[in-house]
Structure 1
Amino acid sequence: MTRMIARIATLVALSALLAGCNLRPLYAGGTSGVVASELGNVEIEPIAGKAGWLLRNALKDQLEAFEGQEAKYRLTVALEDKIAGFGVRSDDRITRERRTLRARYQLVRLSDSVVVLDATAGSDAGIDVVSSEYATLAAEDTALENLANRVSNQIVTRLSLFARTEANTSPEP
């Protein structure tokens, strides 16, 4: 019984500490919050290639949830998509591939063309190379779609953090 009371007391003390640590939800206020309204003001430039098309669509899917009035920022993305074989049999046939998608992106403020955010995002995926060429190509395409979604999530998260920081540092009207 005393153990249980001690655990409850510890839990209450930790809860009090957590409440005082100034944690705030990133998307506080929902779609009318500060972060959401800033994300709605981002226009995405076209990105070259199949990987670019997939990434741009993934970004649009996430950012269109936050509808803004007018574009304040432009997001430009340069992609690097690589496939490298690394599993090799004794007969020199590749058995495993790694597909890597890296994105360097910049957020440009349209009012004065200043780059306000310059960052990178990336992810990789392993692909089994099987005897069926069609199956291997399908696995490579699926990996690319998944990578585009992961990189998109990383970019939107970083844009959200930027938007929150901007909202906290900009003067109140």
Structure 2
Amino acid sequence: MTTLRATILAFIALTLTACGFTPMHAPAGLSDAAFNNVRIELAAGIPVQDKEAAFWVQQALKTRLGNGDSAKHILRVKPEANRAGIGISGVDVATRYDLGLNVSYELIDMKSGKLLDSGSVKAISTIAASTDPYALTAAEKATVRNLASDGADRVLVRLAGYYANAAQ
């Protein structure tokens, strides 16, 4: 009976690999040729307070797209982070903060310098304001990193839309 099960499982495994089956949550789609042709750049003039967010957005995009060694297009991003106190307590101190990241992007053809696509995406998260300043700083840094990842994903969705329409 065990040999029969092993044979059936082996047959199923071989059949699924031969049919082109890929797991639902497998990282797919971003290895397409269009995305391999993109080099990531940070826009000039990013203010000091936005440099950390810019670094994380750039890293998230490079993780998803690669280094763009044979790039035909430049993706120029300009992240802008902001923080707003919400939920003011009785002693006029914020109990929560809204952290936002606005990522403006431009897709540029390397040869002609022509602007192919541009836009802006926004990611927002709320954190609790700790009374410990170190805990608040750690929470802000972790949230900025998560927002950068979310912002990068939102830019890639927009680029996927651009490439899908450009191919038609």
TM-score tier (shorter)? 0.7 to 0.9
Structure 1 moving runs of 4+ over 4 Å = none
Q: Please name the residue that 1:72 is paired with.
A: 72
**Structure 1 partner of 2:13:** none
Matched, 1:44 2:48: no
Give the percent of matched residue pairs that are identical in Structure 1 and Structure 2.
27
- Asked whether the equivalents of residues 73 and 107 of structure 1 are also in contact (C-alpha less than 8 Å), the reply is yes
SS in 2 for 1:108: strand
How far does residue 69 in structure 1 lie from its aligned partner after superposition? 6.5
* Pairs within 5 Å for 1:2-151: 31=31, 36-46=32-42, 48=46, 49-64=51-66, 70-151=70-151
Report if the CA contact (8 A) 2:42-2:78 is conserved. Answer: no
Give, in whole Å, the separation in 1 of the partners of 2:126 and 2:58: 23
Conservation of the 8 A alpha-carbon contact between 1:38 and 1:68:
no
**In structure 2, what residue type is equivalent to 1:154?**
R
What TM-score, normalized by structure 1, do the two folds share?
0.73
Indicate the larger mover: 83-92 or 43-52: 43-52
Q: Distance in 2 between matches of 1:70 and 1:130?
A: 46
Q: 1:137 to 1:69 in 2, by over 3 A?
A: closer
Q: What is the TM-score when the length of structure 2 is the normalising length?
A: 0.75
Is the partner of 1:45 in helix, strand or coil? strand
Alpha-carbon shift at residue 46 of structure 1 (Å): 3.1
In the alignment, structure 2 segments of 5+ residues that lack a partner are 1-27
Q: CA separation of 1:164/1:131 partners in 2, compared to 1, >3 Å: closer, same or farther?
A: same
How far does the alpha carbon of each residue in 1:57-88 deviate from its partner, in whole angstroms, 9 at most, with x for none? 00000112xx8662111111122110110111
**Alignment RMSD, CA only?**
1.8
- Deviation of 1:165 after TM superposition, in Å, equals 1.7
Partner of 1:161: 161
Contact 1:37–1:68, Cα closer than 8 Å, also in 2: no
**Alpha carbons 2:81, 2:101 under 8 Å: kept:** yes
* Alignment coverage as a number of residue pairs: 135
- For 1:123 and 1:93, the matched residues in 2 are separated by 24
